[in-house]
Structure formats: structure tokens, C-alpha cells
Amino acid sequence: MRGFTLLESLIAIAIFAVIGLIAVDLVNRTLQGNNKAQLISKIKQNGQSALNVMDETIRSADSIDCVGSLDSLTSVISVAKNSQHTRFRLISQTASSPTVNGVIIQDNLNIINQAILNDQNSKDQLCTILSNSQFSVPSFSNLTDIDTTSGASVKSGSFNRNQGYKDYISVMFNLGPAINAPQSADNQIGNILFQTTVSLR
């Protein structure tokens, strides 16, 4: 009975090594696929939840205080119901703030002087005032997950008012992986678009 030659042993080792590499690659791809699916699911949940809150609040509002933008990165809408004012701000992710996610913020603006809201000249400037990051209130809610690794980041977004026979508010924003998510996740997933059109009462 003879043993394996050196050549036969080397060939067997090479075959097992190739099989091992293929198995490791398959496991790695499966794990990446699961992580990608979980991340997409989380982004979709974030976006849909924020969209539902904005849709319901705008749809049930008595009036619109303002719809506008302070700059290309911040879009704002403020609505009133029973003299309670609610503001939504879409703040896009920026390269100048590499440690902060883009975010959707909701807050109540009952501290606004009613005289400003009743005065048309002041009201024309209201969007500028309300878009300004310096105009902040002590109580607010982040409608998107601001965790910089596992959360979601607003890449872009806008509110638009279409006036005609009926008023419509268009809400649009793109959500992507958090700012410190693995680069591979950002490349694989990209941005997910959320949009709706709300008819005012």
C-alpha cells in the first residue's frame, strides 16, 4: 500500500483551499446581504414614519403659516390647527458637518407672537424667520434616527405649495444611510425617495 505523493497532496490542499475560499465568500455575501436588507428596512421605516406624521399634520391643519427655504439645505413648513403652530424642517446632510446626519425635525411654535402671524408684512418674512437655525424652541422631536452609524440621514428634501383651485403641499425627501455608515453600505443602497402630495382642506 503506497501513500500520497507530494504532488497529490499539494493538489488536494489546493482544491480544499479553493473550496474554503468559495465557502467563506458565500457566507460573507450572505451576511452583507442581510445587513443591507436590515439597513434598507430601517431607512424605509424611518422615512415612512416621518412622511406619515407630516402628511397627517398638514392634512388636518386649519391653515398654512409658510412654506419655503432658508437655503439649499433647509426647507420648512409651518401649519396651524386650533391656534397651535407646528413646524417641520428638512435639514439636508452637508459636507461641512461630517459628524451630523441630515434630519427631519418637528416642533411646536406656540411661542410665536400672534401679532406676527396676523400681520401680512411680518408673515411674508415668517419663512425666513422660521427656517433660521437660530430660531429654536426648547422642545422638539427628531422624526428620523440621528444615530450617525446605524440611523438614517436626509440627503435632500423640499416642501412646495401649489396654489390653484385647491391648495396642494408636495413633500419630498431622500433618505440614505447614516453619515458614518460603512462606505460599502452607502454605495450599495444609495438614496431612497419618499414623497407625497397633501390636499389642504
What is the separation, in whole angstroms, between the first and last Cα of the chain?
Answer: 93
Check residue 151 and give its pLDDT.
Answer: 85
CA distances to 57, 130, 167, 173 from 81, rounded to whole Å, are 9, 17, 16, 24
Rg of the chain, C-alpha, whole Å = 25
- Does the residue 1 lie in any domain? no
How many domains is the chain partitioned into structurally? 1
Residue 65 φ/ψ, nearest 5 degrees: -70, -50
Residue 193: pLDDT above 90?
Answer: yes
- Does the residue 189 lie in any domain? yes
- Does the residue 193 lie in any domain? yes
Name 92's bridge partners: none
In the block, cell 475560499 appears at 21
What are the cell numbers at 114?
Answer: 400672534
Q: E-assigned strands of the chain?
A: 63-69, 74-81, 84-91, 103-108, 140-142, 152-162, 168-177, 192-199
pLDDT in tens, 128-141: 666 665 556 667 88
- For 27, the 3-state DSSP assignment is helix
What are the cell numbers at 37?
Answer: 436588507
Check residue 150 and give its pLDDT.
Answer: 81
- Does the residue 171 lie in any domain? yes
Q: Are strands 152-162 and 168-177 parallel, antiparallel or unpaired?
A: antiparallel
pLDDT in tens, 31-77: 666 567 788 888 899 999 999 999 999 988 888 878 877 667 888 88
In this structure, of 41-45, 117-121, 188-192, 193-197, the range with the lowest mean pLDDT score is 117-121
Angle ∠(85,92,52) on CA atoms, nearest 5: 50
Taking residues 94-122, what's their average pLDDT?
Answer: 68
Domain range spanning residue 119?
A: 6-199
